[in-house]
Structures are given as C-alpha cells and as structure tokens.
Structure 1
Amino acid sequence: MSQHLRPLAELRDEARSALARGELGRAREALWGALQHTIAREEEYVALTGEMREVFNRLGDVRAALTVAWYAGTEKTQAPLLERAPAIDRARTLLAWADRETGMERQQQLYARAADEYEAAGLVAQAAIARERGHDFGRARALWSRLSQLLSSSGSDFYAAGLARFNLARTSLRTGDAAAAREAVFASVHLLEEAADRYETIGQRERAFDCYQVLIAIGRESGAFEHVLEGYVNVIRILREDHLRYYALQSYEEAVSAAEKQGETSAAATLSREMAAYARKEGLPAVANFAMLTQARLWQEVSVLALRRGSPPEIAENALLAAVIALGEAGQYRKVGDVYRALSELPLEASRQKHYGRARERYVDAQDLSIDAAPLPAHLRHEMGFPEVWHVDLVEWEQAGSASQAAGDVVLDASQWSEVTRRRAMLARLTALAIEEQEARGAFREASGGYVTLAEQLSTVELYTILSPLETLFRRPETHVRVAVVRALSRFLYKRTFTTLREALADRDPTVVHEGAKSMEELRFPHAFDPLARIYREAQSAQVRQSAVRALSKIDTFEAAELLLGIIRHDGSEERMAAVDALRRASGMKFIDLARGAMPGLSGPAQAAVRDILQSRGVNV
C-alpha cells in the first residue's frame, strides 16, 4: 500500500477507471495514494474517504472500511459495518456516537452498549469509563473493583493500580459507600507514592508528576488536605526543577487558594512565602511583592483564628511576627506599625507588651512604599487544564502500545484534533490494521516490512498519545525498525520521549545510537534540560555527549548556560569544542550574559574559548 505522491486528480481518475473494470486492488492502491494528500481541501478528502470506504467494504476489509468511515462518516454510513466489526471497534464507534448525542436517554443507551462491547473485548478500564459517562456508577464501581484486584495481585504496575483504586474511590463515593471510598483512597495514595518514588529513581519525573497530580485530585475528592498539599508541593518542585517558572508560579497560586479554602491558613501563608522567594529569584518583583503581601495577610488571619479558638497567645504572636517580617521586606512600614499595635494588645506578659508598644511608636509617622504588586499577568499564564489521567493513563495501559487503537482514538476525536492530524492518524491506523492482519495469519516477514512505514506515519501525528505505540515498536528486534522509531522521536517534544531515546543511545547497534544522537539534537525545549544534562553526565560515547552539548546550547535558560560554561571550563577538549561551535551559532542570550560576568575568573583556555564565542556573536569583550 505504498505509492509516491502523484497528483490527486490523476489518482482519483485511476481509481474510478479501476473500479469500472472491477479491479478493486488497483482502485485501493490509487485511493491510498490519494489519501496521502493530507493537506487537501476537506470536501475533496471527505469524498476520498467515502470512495475508499466502499472499496474496503467490497474487499471484505470491514475494520479498514469503518476506519475511513470514522473520519467524516455518519451513523448512517458506519452502522452497516458494525455487525461485522470486532467488539473493540463496535465499542469505540458507539462511544463516539454517545459523546455526540444530545438526547439524554439515547446517550445513556449508547454508553451502555459501548460498555457491553468493551467488556466483550476484555477491556475492563474502558468499559468502566463508558459506564461512568453514562452515569451508571454502580456498574462502573464493580468494574473498577475487578480491575483493582487484578492489578494489585499482579504487583507489576503500581501506577495503574493506584489509578484503578482512585477510580474505585470515586465511584464508591458516588454510590454512597463512604467506608469503601476511604479504604480505596488509602490504598491509592500508598500505591501512587510508591510509583512516584520509582519513577523519580529512574529519571521519569514526568510520570512522577502525573502521580502527584492524581494525589491533588484524591485530596479534593476525599476532602483530605494532606494529599492536596503533598501533591502540590511535589508538582511545584518538579516544575521548578524543569525550569517551567510560569507553570510553577501558577501552581503556587492554586496551592495557596486550595489551602485557604480548606481553612489551612498557616500552610497557605508558608506557600506564599516560598512563592515570593521563588518569584524574586526568577526576576519577577511584582509577583514576589504580591505573594509577600498575601503572606502578611494570611499570617494576620492565622493570629485572629488562633485567638478565636482560644489557643495560647504565643501562637498569635508568632504569626504576627511573621507578618511583620513580610511587610518589612515589602516596604510596607505603616502596616508594620499596625501589626506591632496588634502585638502590643495580645494577652502576653507585661514586658513583651511594652516591647511591642515601643516598637509601634517607631512607626507612628512611617509610610508604605509605593510598590508594584500583582499576580502573574495574563500573558504569562498557560492553560493549566490537566487531563483526567486516572482515565487517560489506564486507557493507555489497557491498549498496551497498540498503534491501531491509539491512532483510532485520534481519528474519532474531531472536536480536539485538526483535520490534518486526524488524516495522518487514519493512515497510521490503516497501516497498523494491515500489520495486525498479517501477523494474525502468520505472515510475520510480510508484517515486518510495514513496521518502518508505520513508524514514519506515526511520526507525523506528533501527539503525546502516540508515544506508547512508538515505545512498543522500539522493542522490535529489527534494527531498521528501531532506527525508524528513533528518527520519529525527533518530532515529539515531550520529556517522556527521552525514556526511549536513552535506551536508543545505549543500543547494541551503532546505527541506532547514531540516529538517537541526531534525534536528541532536535529535542530543544526548556524542560528538556534535565534529561539532556543527565544524558551528558552518564553517556560513555563521545558522539552522544557532543550531541547532548549541541542540544543544550539551543536551550536558553540560566541552568543550561551554567552547565555549558562548566563544560568549557572543566571538561574534555572534544566536549569543549562542541560547546564552542554550538554556542557560536546559538541565538539565546542567557549564556552571553553569564559568560561576560564570568570572563575575568576563567583560566587561559576557557577564557579564550568564551572570548571566541562572544566575538562570533558580535559581543565586545
């Protein structure tokens, strides 16, 4: 099914002529070539899928026919194919119908039918999700319970087991069983903490990040603030370590708000203090001042609450002293005086009351400095919508790296993905289905030839959900398949990409290592710093280390600049030469700023190298 890109009109004419002669194979090949025109006008492409659906149907390839019907077809064109399709495709089709349905009664019927089909296919997690969407929480709970027991007994995947337990807790709450929900929450938290520790140990912090996000959700669902706090503290830590400062500051704001709503005012004040220090370090004084003033307000609230509860006055005193420090750092001296007055009125021993009274007198005529204090501005904010990983990641686990299933999900989701992305996913699914059919009839050599094509097609989709099929393909024994996967990975700008890439860089075949090093140089995005730095430090190959240096030179962060300067100062000549060459052609300014300040303290060779870089970038030294 491969053909060079010939003109679309020519291919359609060829297909129609072949159909008129009854040559279905020739028609299929011509239409396959036409479908490669993934940037064609929508009306043309829809017509092509209709023609291809008819050809596949007449050839008896129901799964392929249904796949192209998913792109732009309707229930009317898809329904006749369902009876002959396998349960998994019936389920996915019915689920898509249900998601689009506006009538409540029919929608619930469709979700129920989809769940039945998923169960028939042995896909418990997806069946449970369909039950939830149809508000059948009782049956959903039974399915989550079954999956939880299965995963817990296997002990092989703490993350999936933790997600299943969380879903069991959610549905137990919705069915009114609070005791079962508490038990499931406890088990889920334990499993997710274990999973997060393991992920961080092996350098997969993006997966640990997911664990901590679920902990936040668990805390919100169960009302247990300690889980919310644990989740946010670790989410913020990972975002800071990945140098995603705006995401980190937004998460700080969310954490402070969550703590206030839960009545955890001391925790909110402490988080505000940390946020202020971080914002100041990152060169955002207005945000730092805003956090500092928030901290002062919260400490004063802590004091009021402590007195109201009848707590020892020392608790209120300590809170107000913390407010004094915060307001002093923000230059709000009149407000400092107001807080000292409140301190002098606390039921403390006389000597301390007098001390605070004298301090208040020093601020009688003090004025607040005029400062810029505002939360993170709108233009620096990011959409923080977090996917329901307790569903999404269990679907991925259940699909087990199936390219046909992952691509099928993209084809069916017209509301989220562009036409071009869905077209590319459709082509990848058709190739994956052909490979599955060949494997089913034992034609493994024939199937092997399609793996490279599949990797190339998956690479054009460029979505996070496609990483799992690529990871599965990389485990193939054929070198040429692993090479194709590694090349594909250069287009996936996600930290998770480095999980497979690191395996490629240690592959037994030098061709795979070479392609891995080339792909690594294309993965230049700010939060790639941590995995790139780790690869640089651990790699035994000079080629890999040099490629890591070239990738790092394209990341314009202070941390990357600091590492590159360290390489120039202390590391081997090959790495130094790679750094100098890459930095000459780089466009970021963080290294320039750092290097200019460090120049006087550098040794002879390092100083010469830095001077060379600066001069080549047009900087006077």
Structure 2
Amino acid sequence: MLDEIHYYRERARQAAARGNYDDAILALITIAQQTQISENEYVSILRPLEAAMSKRGDARSALTVQWYLSQSERSQSERSGRGIDGGLGYDLRLLQEVPHVDRARTMAAAGDVAAAGREMEEAGLVAAAAIYREKAGQWQEARALWSRLSQVLRGPRGAGGAAPERGMRNADAYHAALAQFNLARCAKQCNDAGQARDAIVAAVRLLEEAADHFESVGQRERAFDCFQVLVQIGREGGMFENILEGYVNCIRILREDHLKYFALQYFEDALSVAKEHKEYSAAATLAREAAEYARALSLHSASTYYTTVQAELWHDVAVQQIERGGPPEIAENALLAAIVSLGELGQFVRVGALYEELSRMDLEPVRKAHYARAAGRYAGVRDEMLNAAQLPSHLRQDNHVTEVWHLDLVEWEQQGSAAEACADLLLNPALPDLIRRKALLTRLTAFAVEPVPTSGAIMSDGPSDAAATNARVRLCEQLSQLQMYAVLSPLERLFTRPERQVRVAVMTAMQSLFFKRSFVTVRAGLTDPDPAVVEHAARAVESLYFPHAFDPLARIVRESSQAPIRAAALRALAHVDSREAAEFLLGILEHGAPIDRHATLEGLKRTRGARFVELARASITSSPPDVQHALREILRARGIAA
C-alpha cells in the first residue's frame, strides 16, 4: 500500500510540475480512495491535492480539502487556532472565490458563528442563518429570520409551491411547525410572551396535522419526530399536556416498532417529568402501563419495580387530594388502587397500613368501619420478598432528543444537495476519520453534477450529458458507502432524475441504508415505469430487514400486485425476528396465495430467528394439514425436531 501511495504521489508531483493539474488531481484522488490508511499518510495525499486544486482555480474543491486538513491539524494539536488565516489552515484568498455558503461554513469552523450567520443570510439560507444567530446569542436577529421563514412556509405559496396553510402539503405543515417552534423559542429569549404563545399554539396544531399524515402513509418514524418536538414544546413552555401527549405517542410508536428498551426508557422519562409537575395521577397510569409492558416482555424485575412505583404514586395522589381539600372519595379511590398494586406484589404489611389510613379518613362511618376490620386482618403478616429493579444499564441505549427542529429545516433548505449534506459530515469533528474522508470524496464528486449555489435560488438539475450521468452513478455509490441518515435526502433527489442508470444506482444504494425512511424511495422505485428500476427496488426490499422494518415490509406485501415484489418482502420479513413478523408469516402460510406461501416457506427455511420457531411449535397441532406439513418442513430445514 505504501508503495502505491508513493507511486501516485510522485506521478502527481511530476504532472503538477508540467502544469498538468488535471492529471495530478486525478492521481491523488485515485489513491485518496484508500480511506483506511493512517492519518499521516492520508494528509500527505491531501496536501498536494489541495495545492493542485488551488492552482487549477477550483476554489470550492481546494477549500473542501482544507476543511479536512484543518480538522486533522486541530485534532492532532499541531497548531493552535488563531483565526481563519492563522492556525486553522484556511486560505483567505480562496474564501473570496467561493459561494457564501462555503464562507459561512469556514467561519463557523473557525469559531466565528456570528459571521457565519451573516454569510448564510447572504446565501439565502434563512434556517441555517437563524441557527448560527442563535449560537451567537443574537436572539433578536434569529427571531426575525424564523419569522421570515414562517411566513414563507405558511404564506400564500408555501414551500414547493403549496397552497395557503389550510391546504398546505403535510410535509410543509411539519416544516412550518418547526419554524413556529423556533420562533417561539427566540421570542421567549426576547421576552415577547405574546408572540411565543401564538407561535406555540400554531406549532402544536401543525405538528398534530403532520403526525396524522405521516402515520397514515406508514412513515411512523417521521410521526415520532413530530411527537418528540411536541415533548420539547411542553418542556420549554411548561405545558404538561403537550409533554404527556408527546411521550404517550412516542411510546406507542416505539412499542409498535418493537424497540422495547427504548420504549421503557421513554416510560421512565415520562414518569420523571410527570412527577416533576406533580401530575401524580398521570404518572401512576404511566407506571401501570410500564409494568404491564415489562411483564409482557418477561422483564419481571422491571415490572415489579414499576408496580411499586405505581403504588407510591397512587398514595401521592391521595395525599395531594387531601391537602387540596378535594372530595375524600377521590383520595379513597387512589388508596384503593395503591392497595391493589401492593397486593399483587404480596406487600401485605403496607396493604394493612393503607387500610388503617383509609379507616381514619373523613368517610361514611360504615366504610370507615369496613376499612378498620380489613386493617385488622393484616395484623402480624409479612411482606413477600421483592425482586424489583429498573431497566438494567446494559439494556439502556442513548435516547437523547435530536434537535430535529433545526436539523430537519436545514435538510429541507439544502434541497437534497449531496455537496451540502457531505459538508455537514465532513465538518463534524465527532464523526470518525473514515466517515469524514468518505464525505470529502463524495462532496468532490457532487461538485461535478450540482451547480454552484446562488442566493435563495431553487437548486437546478445540473448537467445531463453522459459524463454527468456517470458522475451521478458514482455519487450514488459513494453516498451509500457513508451509511448515514444524512445521505437519504440527496438520494431521494437523485431518484427524481430521468436517467435509468441513476435511478438504478439509487435503488442499489438503498440496499445498504437500514433506515425506515429508505422505504419511501424504495416504494417509489417499485412503481417506476422502468422494469430495471423495479427489479433493483425489489432487491433493495429483500435487503432491508431490521427489527423495526416490519411495518413497511408488511405494507408492501399487502399492497403490491406483483408476486416477485411480494416475494422479496416476504423473504425479508423472514429475517425479522419478532412476534409480529412471525404471526404475519404464519398467516401467509395459512391463507396466502400459493406463490406467496412458497416464498414464505423458502424464506423461513433459510433464516435462524427464534420467534417463528416458538410460534410454529405452539400452533403446529392446531393448524390445517397443509400448514402442519409446511411448518415441519421449516423446522427440519433448521435442524429442529418437529
């Protein structure tokens, strides 16, 4: 490998010495594809590459390489940051030759976010400018920008040429909601309570509208984003009803997608917030549902823990009602609910204490006497041992809230630009060097097919000759290698191209992008008029199996009229090891068309998931003879005795 690096580097040096910078750049980019080499070796390739690009007059490409080099220098502590033209390695001359958006990114990387905001505003990128203004603490300027964007999204012609707000597209409703939320945040910082309140009301209504639409078209992950924003709106505005609505729906979606540990973590977060707001009745209800859910997952210690929490919260409800002077019957019912919870756990000493507490309440004498007798029956009893624990740390996952109110508006504003999406990845120091290197190379490819951005303009389609088509195919390949959520928007835009090769390349790229959103483009590919695109889309369907892919895969089976497409989805479902997928496939074996039953049978014979085996063993004796035969065939293929 080192010999190869030295060869191409020397070849590039000789070409540059002759003034042939095109050949020099080609040689260096060829070896730069070896993204696994050490950082020192990689930098030794990029330095002459940046020099050749600068001498050729390709300012955007040269500056892009400088971004990587500067990040490398910073991470290795080779220089101290002294400004744009100092230790961070940026060439001021290049900055005068690149678009405003590139200058903005460079200034932000250098730490001057206020200047970055001004440059983004010059570029016509209002959302990005507002975010930089927020980071600079310039809340009045940010508020003005969010207000302007809100008017664009809700005005007489919204984004994408939508009609006024009442008839706007649901994607526009989502982006309008995010803009309203950002406006409310900034108005609050500017002590404008009236504007903040009005913006919050608009944001909540638009979020609910967008969430309904996303769920109706099977994009639950986008609905989840809506509800996460709703939680954040409630947190920042102190409105518990919004927090509760957001959390309840987030939990519902996580449960439907079988993300069980995430769901339990969201239960705990919701419980914590409810207790902070002293909404003990809502918290107790959440604890009961968490206990039932954990029990269904056979997480018995967690179920016990949530049941004890439920009992404590019902007691808190009773105390709260008494302190508020509420009807004693409400406190009575709360204590009885606590008794039921503790009784389930065998905590009889505490049950007796609660009955004693009931006997002292301001109730009818008959009921007080009844509770006193009940308390007496628990004299001298013992509590059963409890095995109660929260969700273990090794099962917990990072569920921090992503700032979609910023990120999704930036994505919308970038209009599917691969160059801009890759710039975000390249300049993110938290990402591994491997990802940032691939983002660098992908951005350089994107420059060949994406026009230079101009202020506030809709991104044009760019060149359409054979060389551009080949570059777009290569771009699809490079985007797929990044395997990041951020590449989906550029691929979605590329799929709108008329060239068959490009649309096929997009479908090929989707095979390695395991996100529910990938199915949006894949489903479009399944209905493409070109059979080659449909064929590659079906291959993507068969490749996209992961725990929460059940819903989009099952939807394809139910809706597609083409047997090969249904077969691809069924084979993918055979790899989804969940109870829901197992029951769906068993239903196909029992009631599906012969061709679907065959695809299901062959798919299940080649997988190793345990859920279907459990279901097969439980239902084999009660199944029709032909289904029994199929189940035995599947079990034998897996080496399991029927």
Query: Normalising TM by the smaller chain, what interval?
Result: over 0.9
CA contact (8 A) 2:445 2:475 kept: yes
* Counterpart code for 1:68: V
Provide TM-score, normalisation by structure 1: 0.95
2:336 is the alignment partner of 1:339: no
2:84 is the alignment partner of 1:89: no
Find the counterpart in structure 1 of residue 337 from structure 2. 322
Q: 1:116 aligns with which of 118, 122, 129?
A: 118
Q: How do 1:312-391 residues align onto structure 2 when only pairs under 5 Å count?
A: 312-391=327-406
Distance 1:393 1:440, change over 3 A: closer
Find the counterpart in structure 2 of residue 434 from structure 1. 448
Displacement of 1:560 in angstroms is 1.0
CA contact (8 A) 1:401 1:468 kept: yes
Q: Distance in 2 between matches of 1:440 and 1:367?
A: 76
Displacement of 1:437 in angstroms is 4.6
Which consecutive unaligned segments of at least 5 residues does structure 1 have?
Answer: 99-109
Find the counterpart in structure 1 of residue 17 from structure 2. 20
Q: 1:451 aligns with which of 453, 469, 472?
A: 472
1:523-569 deviations in Å (ceiling 9; x for gaps) = 12101111111111111111111111111111111111111111111
Find the counterpart in structure 2 of residue 551 from structure 1. 572
2:418 is the alignment partner of 1:403: yes
Displacement of 1:80 in angstroms is 3.2
CA contact (8 A) 1:70 1:78 kept: no
Q: Distance in 2 between matches of 1:377 and 1:324?
A: 27
2:179 is the alignment partner of 1:158: no
2:257 is the alignment partner of 1:257: no
Q: Distance in 1 between matches of 2:88 and 2:124?
A: 25
Find the counterpart in structure 1 of residue 436 from structure 2. 422
1:244-288 deviations in Å (ceiling 9; x for gaps) = 000000000000000000111110001001111111111111111
Q: How do 1:67-78 residues align onto structure 2 when only pairs under 5 Å count?
A: 67-73=64-70, 75-78=88-91
Find the counterpart in structure 1 of residue 39 from structure 2. 42
Q: Distance in 2 between matches of 1:227 and 1:505?
A: 38
CA contact (8 A) 1:243 1:527 kept: yes
Q: Distance in 1 between matches of 2:296 and 2:387?
A: 16
Displacement of 1:451 in angstroms is 1.1
CA contact (8 A) 1:558 1:591 kept: yes
Bigger Cα displacement from structure 2, 20-29 vs 345-354: 20-29
Find the counterpart in structure 2 of residue 596 from structure 1. 617
Find the counterpart in structure 1 of residue 7 from structure 2. 10
CA contact (8 A) 2:143 2:187 kept: yes
Q: Distance in 2 between matches of 1:21 and 1:500?
A: 47
* Counterpart code for 2:30: G
Secondary structure, aligned partner of 1:374: coil
CA contact (8 A) 2:66 2:89 kept: no
Find the counterpart in structure 1 of residue 81 from structure 2. none
CA contact (8 A) 1:164 1:390 kept: yes
2:174 is the alignment partner of 1:174: no
Find the counterpart in structure 2 of residue 464 from structure 1. 485
Find the counterpart in structure 1 of residue 30 from structure 2. 33
CA contact (8 A) 2:218 2:551 kept: no
Q: Percent identity?
A: 49
Q: Distance in 2 between matches of 1:97 and 1:393?
A: 24
* Counterpart code for 1:26: D
* Counterpart code for 1:523: L
* Counterpart code for 1:418: P
* Counterpart code for 2:139: F
Bigger Cα displacement from structure 2, 52-61 vs 362-371: 362-371
Q: Distance in 2 between matches of 1:441 and 1:239?
A: 38
CA contact (8 A) 1:522 1:551 kept: yes
1:330-357 deviations in Å (ceiling 9; x for gaps) = 2222211111111111100011111111
Find the counterpart in structure 2 of residue 219 from structure 1. 234
* Counterpart code for 2:584: L
Displacement of 1:85 in angstroms is 1.1
Q: How do 1:467-478 residues align onto structure 2 when only pairs under 5 Å count?
A: 467-478=488-499
Displacement of 1:210 in angstroms is 0.3
Displacement of 1:6 in angstroms is 10
Which consecutive unaligned segments of at least 5 residues does structure 2 have?
Answer: 71-86, 159-164, 453-458
2:481 is the alignment partner of 1:481: no
CA contact (8 A) 1:118 1:126 kept: yes
Q: Distance in 2 between matches of 1:39 and 1:78?
A: 28
Find the counterpart in structure 1 of residue 260 from structure 2. 245
Find the counterpart in structure 2 of residue 107 from structure 1. none
Secondary structure, aligned partner of 1:56: helix
Displacement of 1:440 in angstroms is 8.0
- Runs of 4+ with deviation above 6 angstroms: 438-442
1:72-131 deviations in Å (ceiling 9; x for gaps) = 236333433111111010011111221xxxxxxxxxxx1111111001000011000000
Q: Distance in 2 between matches of 1:48 and 1:440?
A: 33
Bigger Cα displacement from structure 2, 7-16 vs 218-227: 7-16
Bigger Cα displacement from structure 2, 153-162 vs 478-487: 153-162
Displacement of 1:149 in angstroms is 1.3
* Counterpart code for 1:612: E
* Counterpart code for 1:19: A
Q: Distance in 1 between matches of 2:423 and 2:624?
A: 58
Find the counterpart in structure 2 of residue 104 from structure 1. none
Q: Distance in 2 between matches of 1:216 and 1:443?
A: 44
Find the counterpart in structure 1 of residue 318 from structure 2. 303
Distance 1:476 1:441, change over 3 A: closer
Find the counterpart in structure 2 of residue 103 from structure 1. none
Q: Distance in 2 between matches of 1:8 and 1:201?
A: 53
* Counterpart code for 2:587: G
Find the counterpart in structure 1 of residue 58 from structure 2. 61
* Counterpart code for 1:318: N
Displacement of 1:366 in angstroms is 2.5
* Counterpart code for 2:558: R
2:597 is the alignment partner of 1:582: no
Displacement of 1:602 in angstroms is 0.8
Secondary structure, aligned partner of 2:90: helix
2:285 is the alignment partner of 1:270: yes
1:198-256 deviations in Å (ceiling 9; x for gaps) = 11111111111000000000000000101000000100000000010000000000000
2:216 is the alignment partner of 1:201: yes
Secondary structure, aligned partner of 1:14: helix
CA contact (8 A) 2:130 2:146 kept: yes
Displacement of 1:16 in angstroms is 1.2
* Counterpart code for 2:280: T
Q: Distance in 1 between matches of 2:4 and 2:602?
A: 43
1:391-423 deviations in Å (ceiling 9; x for gaps) = 111100111111110011111112x21111111
Find the counterpart in structure 2 of residue 149 from structure 1. 151
CA contact (8 A) 1:6 1:33 kept: no
CA contact (8 A) 1:337 1:363 kept: yes
Q: How many residues align?
A: 605
Find the counterpart in structure 1 of residue 456 from structure 2. none
CA contact (8 A) 1:341 1:356 kept: yes
Q: 2:632 aligns with which of 603, 611, 616?
A: 611
* Counterpart code for 2:120: Y
* Counterpart code for 1:9: H
Distance 1:443 1:358, change over 3 A: closer
* Counterpart code for 1:464: Y
Find the counterpart in structure 2 of residue 52 from structure 1. 49
Q: Distance in 1 between matches of 2:213 and 2:612?
A: 34
Displacement of 1:444 in angstroms is 2.5
Distance 1:342 1:401, change over 3 A: same
CA contact (8 A) 1:8 1:37 kept: no
1:360-387 deviations in Å (ceiling 9; x for gaps) = 2222232221121111000000011121
Q: Distance in 2 between matches of 1:386 and 1:541?
A: 40
CA contact (8 A) 1:340 1:360 kept: yes
